[in-house]
Amino acid sequence: MVNITINGIGLQVEEGTTILQAAESLGISIPTLCHHPDQEVKASCRICVVEAKGFNTLVPSCQYPVFEGMEIQTHSPKVRNARMHLLELILSRHVQDCLHCARNGSCELQEVSRQLHFDKTPRYPYVERSNIIDDTTGSIVRTESKCISCGRCLYVCTNVQSVNAISKIDRSFNVKFGSPYNSTLAEGPCVNCGQCVQACPTGALTIKDSTDKVWSQIGGKKLIAAQVAPSVRINLAEALGEEPGTVSSGRLVTAMKRIGFDLVFDTNFTADLTILEEGTELLGRLSGGGALPMITSCSPGWIKFCETYYPDMLDNLSTCKSPQGMFGALIKTYYADSIGKKPEDILSVSVMPCTAKKFEAARPELSADGIADVDVVLTVQELANMIEASGIDFKSLPETEYDAPFGLGSGAGTIFGVTGGVMEAALRTVYEVVTGDTLDNIEFEAVRGFEGIKEATIPVGDLNVKIAVAHGLGNARKLMDKVRSGEADYHFIEIMACPGGCIGGGGNPIKTWKKMKPRLEAVYRHDRELPLRKSHENPAVTEIYAQFLGEPNGHKSHELLHTHYVDRSEVLK
């Protein structure tokens, strides 16, 4: 422990504590911009500088560790003047159009300006970085004039996700972060995961907004049928100001009905369907019917990453569509027929935690006769915006059930929202199908938690099934390299593109790992509260096989619920 003084207040902190951390322990707020609690220190913006006795210059509090006897002033006149000067320099390269920005009200630069009570015209004239607005991916919008060169997007894209779609361009006053060689994001290896959006402190990286596509159809001739992903019920209330981990299944249905959605279905239904299809596929491969290890295909960011960096291993991917893809196909076929509608008369909307789902919905493989299975993808943030724009008090809403026939999902479907969830859901079903025995404990602790890569061997009848789980594409790369080189010998692998799984998706409210734990706990709590916890025991799934699909992995199922993949490695050349 070391003894220090901050603003005349003495305290003891552990050796290695930064000035910023020490100040926070006293309840003293120091403004930051390039700093992010889940990233390494960059100390590039310098807005967090403080005065330390004996130092000739101000020091960045996010980077500098305290030492015995250190005396610090966090808001002295010298510090305040420096911060104002730095803020003016940052604003001189940042377009001033806050009212038209998607991050208005949640922008960290805006918050620092408010915190410093910056209420004057900057002394430095505005110099635009560029007027480039890149929305080519269909999922993410990059606006160069709003970049503040903090480097947070570069860090998450390179160090966490290992996608390398963003690079540092130019130097000094002209430095910016964007696609290499002034290309578009779509021309590079971007997988649309949206983690750069989560990391960006301003509106330089935002979600491609699709709400107008829905607003324009409300009250029109088309039937608006929506599906809602498992993790949306975990994160929507948080996006509307409630505590992380607040489950809001019934309220979100009520809110969507009041907005004007005609039908609100539960994607948990096709999560259960996925387990029947994927589990059957796995058993077939274990019997010599395909490439091993089999790798899950629910995460579109991961799928595009595999297509780009591991095209030689596409045969290892499960051919199952994601639950979103399966639902879209059923809405435009089975459900349309059951209510006497043509596919084009239904607006199929999905509400997802994931920006990459927008890209997935646009894939030609997820359409039939030129008609998309999913017409519009809304993220959690976009649905929250629609609820607010409708003047709905979300906290006071009553509960409403999801609509039949796709309103029933199991706890196994719910846990798709977290890393390890797809694996656990599959094991609950595969074990009982193979052995004919009932699992005494259906909670597989070996695949739970935020460890980057988890491995286990699970006895299933006479076979010891070797499994692995990875979340975050940096961890996926490590795992795939081991498989490619022959170092690892697995039967079944689950990969989620986003850290933490879907609860950490790019379309959710802005996150830190501090918020992720209550989200994860809420998922497992919700699973335990549901009457059904195994996919193969969902009677609605059994019924659709009996009435329409036939059998898992049968001809009809393959036609509607399975897909293929594309080699995208050309972008790396």
At residue 410, the 3 state secondary structure works out as: coil
Single-letter amino acid code for the residue at 127: V
278 is catalytic: yes
Q: How far apart are CA 359 and CA 343, in angstroms?
A: 21
* E-assigned strand segments in 193-262: 205-207, 223-228
Catalytic residue among 45, 354, 502, 515: 502
How far is it, in rounded angstroms, from Cα 99 to Cα 294?
Answer: 48
Euclidean distance between the first and the last CA atom of the chain, given in angstroms as a whole number: 52
Question: Which of 304, 321, 357, 454 is the catalytic position?
Answer: 357
Distance CA 175, CA 130 (A): 12
Alpha-carbon gap, residue 504 to 513, rounded angstroms: 9
CB atoms within 10 A of CB 512: 12
Short-list 404, 403, 344, CA closest to 370:
344
Please tell me which residue in 153, 298, 320, 354 is annotated as part of the active site.
298
**Active-site choice (243, 365, 401, 445):** 365
Query: One of 51, 238, 281, 424 is an active-site residue; which one?
Result: 281
Can 357 be counted among the known catalytic residues?
A: yes
Q: Which of 307, 360, 382, 432 is catalytic?
A: 360
Catalytic, 318? Answer yes
**From the candidates 61, 145, 179, 318, which is the catalytic residue?**
318
187 is catalytic: no
The residue type at 441:
N
The alpha carbon of 476 is separated from its chain's Cα centroid by a whole number of angstroms, namely 15
Known active-site residue 14: no
Choice among 238, 278, 382, 432 that is catalytic:
278
The residue with tokens 């972060």 is 177
176 is catalytic: no
Residue 405 preceded by cis peptide, ω within 30: yes
On the 0-12 / 13-18 / 19+ scale of CB atoms within 10 A, 19 is: buried
What's the number of CA atoms in the CB half-sphere (13 Å) around residue 553?
14
Cα separations (Å) of 208 from 232, 345, 468, 482?
18, 25, 33, 35
Active site residues: 278, 281, 298, 318, 357, 360, 365, 502
